[in-house]
């Protein structure tokens, strides 16, 4: 089955800890994206990557970091510098820039 | 003006009704337009792309008006399963390769 997987579905962390969210795709897509969604809010772009070993900051990159060492994988680290990390995190991919994006099932992160 | 603007709703309609949503966008250079559907606490799923000539997929019709910079989605013969939030999506946000998502319009279809 082709698609995007994110793990875990739910994640709980204590304040001050870094946490890494996994995103893997087997669609052979070049571009990958990370968004966060807060209750009642739209999706906000955190980071995106158009090719391996390259990525750009989105609108709300502060407190986050990413890597793109393999085409299939685009992990997101939520650092302790992120002031409000509790949110629904969504990973997406697209075949090329500007094309429709396909989403993974998301990770709900709760930091207390 | 917000980049992508939608009426948040909710739109409450009975089964079988026809309902239409509009969305306006601010970037006149945008070239790609989409409607996504998001169920409660789930990921967004692509409903349809929106082409300049308009397009139809079963009960769903999407239209694009470049001159006025708005996109519409028409749902005919509403089903209970159509209840969801509909997201209007336009390219040309942070970079050409990125998409900007509206906050969505909630649709509730009742028996």
List, for residues A57-95, the tens digit of each pLDDT value: 999 999 999 999 999 999 999 999 899 999 999 999 999
> Is A42 within 8 Å of B96 when comparing Cβ atoms?
no
Query: What are the average pLDDT values for consecutive 10-residue runs of chain B, which has 111 residues?
Result: 88 98 92 95 96 93 95 98 97 72 96 96
- When scoring A101, A105, A106 by the number of chain B Cβ atoms within 10 A, the one with the most, hence best to mutate, is A101
Q: Which of B97, B98, B89, B96 is nearest to B25 (CA)?
A: B89
Q: How far apart are CA B38 and CA A53, in angstroms?
A: 31
Region at B92 (left for phi over 0; alpha for psi -120 to 50; beta for the rest) = left
- When scoring B46, B55, B62, B97 by the number of chain A Cβ atoms within 10 A, the one with the most, hence best to mutate, is B97
Q: How far apart are CA A50 and CA A39, in angstroms?
A: 28
Of A42, A48, A94, the CB nearest to B103: A42
Q: Which residues pair with A22 in a beta bridge?
A: A7
- Within the 1-30 window of chain A, which residues sit less than 8 Å (CB to CB) from chain B? none
Q: Give the pLDDT confidence score for residue B92 in this predicted structure.
A: 72
Query: Mean of the pLDDT values across residues A32-41?
Result: 92
DSSP three-state, residue B97: coil
């Amino acid at each position: 089955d082709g698609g995007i997987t994110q793990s875990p579905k739910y994640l709980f962390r204590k304040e001050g800890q870094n946490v890494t969210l996994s995103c893997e795709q087997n669609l052979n897509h070049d571009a990958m994206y990370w968004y966060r969604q807060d209750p009642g809010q739209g999706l906000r772009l955190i980071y995106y990557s158009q090719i391996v070993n390259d990525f750009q900051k989105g609108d709300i990159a502060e407190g986050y970091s990413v890597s793109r060492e393999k085409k299939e994988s685009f992990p997101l680290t939520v650092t302790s510098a992120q002031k409000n990390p509790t949110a629904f995190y969504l990973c997406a991919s697209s075949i090329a820039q500007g094309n429709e994006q396909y989403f993974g099932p998301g990770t709900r992160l709760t930091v207390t | 003006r917000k980049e992508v603007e939608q009426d948040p709703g909710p739109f409450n309609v009975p089964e079988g009704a026809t309902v239409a949503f509009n969305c306006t966008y601010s970037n006149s250079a945008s070239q790609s337009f989409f409607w996504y559907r998001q169920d409660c606490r789930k990921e967004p799923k692509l409903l349809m792309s929106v082409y300049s000539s308009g397009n139809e997929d079963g009960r769903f019709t999407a239209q694009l008006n470049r001159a006025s910079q708005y996109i519409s989605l028409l749902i005919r013969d509403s089903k209970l399963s159509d209840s969801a939030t509909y997201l209007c999506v336009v390219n040309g946000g942070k970079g050409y390769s990125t998409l900007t998502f509206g906050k969505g319009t909630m649709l509730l279809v009742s028996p």
